[in-house]
Chain A
Amino acid sequence: MATTTMSATEETLVGMGQIAAGGPPKKMKAVVGSCIALALYHPRLKRGAMAHIVLPVSAGRDGTPGKFADTAIPKMLELLKELNAPAPCLTAKLAGGAAMFGSSGPLQIGDSNIEAVAQSLRAVGIRVAGQDVGGTRGRRVTFECESGAMIVESAGQPTKTL
């Protein structure tokens, strides 16, 4: 599911596999572990989109576009285009890709997610303006359309602003 809104809704929770897009005063929020919260932003027009990416590649599998790195980015570009924010001038910020059960634990997917997002961004020529990825902690991520700031909170750690 993807949502594009320009309403006065202050905060939109972006669930696994979802994409949200909009402009100020919208804030988009996601809690991620091994998933990636990816925001694309047009600084002059103040239009942004955030995806909660779950897995690296779709490989023809069914699923919402936001679920996979290789399908999320084209969908985000489409939603931003609908908001009159074209691909040139967009920048990216991302957070997540942790190994929640430790680097030697089971179900490792964080690193593959980080690499797949980086590769997909390179493919469409979007510059990464900030990132907080990897590690073994979950992240609560808030993206503000007004400023383009991505605020990243980790349990027991100082808050970072990208």
Chain B
Amino acid sequence: MLTTANDNVKTLAGLQELFGSATHDASAAMCRWTDGIITVTLDEVRQVALEEVAVELAIGDEAMTMVVMTLDGQCGGGSIILMFDDMNGRQLAASLLGREVGTDPEWSELEKSALMETGNILGCAYVNALTRLVGMDLRPSPPYFIQDFGASVLQQALMTQAAVGDDLLLCDIAFRRNGGKLDWRVVFVPTPGLQESLERSLHAAPQP
């Protein structure tokens, strides 16, 4: 776990690099899945105080459409949450399905499936990249489709970190279309076990 302020800065920079590499792979997978339309970039790996999480991530109190995947492995795991407002989620589903944006208040099974598959592809790309980068096996869960308050979902994903400390580590990832940032996001929350394994692998890596 992070200790002194100096260690903290170094470790966050190392994790930024590591997740940057994993995001590069995830972006390539996303680009293939969306026919070159959508990519993802790592905005920031950051530490946020427990009570400030929703404010820091600008997650308001409105209902959102989300796909959640959990990762599990011997050394820990984490959660990946794709977050959209309803219209943006439907636009992504429509573009993947090659259809007009749905107008029925209820999402069709096909729309849900398109969004869950997006989560699956993104999640598996992160799993594969992290497995390769740090040499640990991670298994992804099936994706869950959830329409609920973003803060409610995020807080459950944060439980394992909250159990051991008040500063939470999060990776904030942005979607881009033709280079422009979209109002969609992915939040990756590693468990303390995975966080420690990642930090150990950083310290074990040869220094330049």
Q: A: which residues have CB within 8 A of B? A: 1, 13, 15-18, 29, 31-35, 52, 54-55, 61-64, 67, 98, 100-102, 105-107, 109, 137-140, 155-156
Which residues of the other chain, B, contact A98 by a CB distance below 8 angstroms?
Answer: 152
The A/B interface has a contact count, at CB < 8 Å, of 102
Which residues of the other chain, A, contact B202 by a CB distance below 8 angstroms?
Answer: none
Given A54-B155, A54-B162, A138-B148, also A101-B61 (CB < 8 A): no
Ranked 6 nearest A-B pairs via Cβ = A138-B152, A33-B152, A15-B51, A155-B63, A31-B151, A138-B149
CB nearest neighbor in B for A35: B155
25 residue pairs of the A-B complex, CB under 8 angstroms, read A15-B54, A16-B50, A16-B155, A16-B162, A17-B50, A17-B162, A18-B51, A29-B61, A33-B149, A54-B50, A54-B159, A62-B166, A64-B50, A64-B166, A67-B162, A100-B148, A101-B70, A101-B146, A105-B70, A106-B72, A107-B79, A138-B151, A138-B152, A155-B148, A155-B149
Which residues of the other chain, A, contact B63 by a CB distance below 8 angstroms?
Answer: 155-156
CA–CA, A13 and B165, complex, Å: 22
A134 to chain B, nearest CB (A): 13
CA–CA, A8 and B54, complex, Å: 24
CA–CA, A52 and B158, complex, Å: 14
B74 to chain A, nearest CB (A): 16
CA–CA, A155 and B64, complex, Å: 9
Besides A33-B151, A100-B146, 16 new A-B residue pairs in contact (Cβ under 8 A), listed by A number: A15-B52, A15-B53, A17-B50, A33-B148, A33-B149, A35-B155, A55-B163, A62-B166, A64-B166, A67-B162, A67-B166, A101-B144, A105-B70, A109-B159, A156-B63, A156-B147
CA–CA, A86 and B35, complex, Å: 64
Which residues of the other chain, B, contact A1 by a CB distance below 8 angstroms?
Answer: 51
B68 at the interface (CB under 8 A from A): yes
Q: B: which residues have CB within 8 A of A? A: 50-55, 61, 63, 68, 70, 72, 79, 141, 144, 146-149, 151-160, 162-166
Tell me whether A31 and B50 are in contact (CB under 8 A): no
Which of A15, A34, A55, A156: most chain B CB closer than 10 A? A15
CA–CA, A100 and B66, complex, Å: 12
Tell me whether A32 and B152 are in contact (CB under 8 A): yes
Which residues of the other chain, A, contact B50 by a CB distance below 8 angstroms?
Answer: 15-17, 54, 63-64, 67
CB nearest neighbor in A for B162: A54
Partner of A34, one of B146, B147, B156: B156
CA–CA, A107 and B16, complex, Å: 26
Tell me whether B159 and A107 are in contact (CB under 8 A): yes
Which residues of the other chain, B, contact A67 by a CB distance below 8 angstroms?
Answer: 50, 162, 166
Which residues of the other chain, A, contact B55 by a CB distance below 8 angstroms?
Answer: 13, 15
Tell me whether B61 and A140 are in contact (CB under 8 A): yes
Partner of A16, one of B53, B153, B157, B164: B53
B112 to chain A, nearest CB (A): 14
Tell me whether B159 and A34 are in contact (CB under 8 A): yes
Which residues of the other chain, B, contact A35 by a CB distance below 8 angstroms?
Answer: 155
CA–CA, A31 and B151, complex, Å: 6
Which residues of the other chain, A, contact B163 by a CB distance below 8 angstroms?
Answer: 55, 61
Which residues of the other chain, A, contact B54 by a CB distance below 8 angstroms?
Answer: 15-16, 31
Tell me whether A100 and B156 are in contact (CB under 8 A): yes
Which residues of the other chain, B, contact A101 by a CB distance below 8 angstroms?
Answer: 68, 70, 144, 146, 156
Partner of B141, one of A52, A64, A106, A140: A106
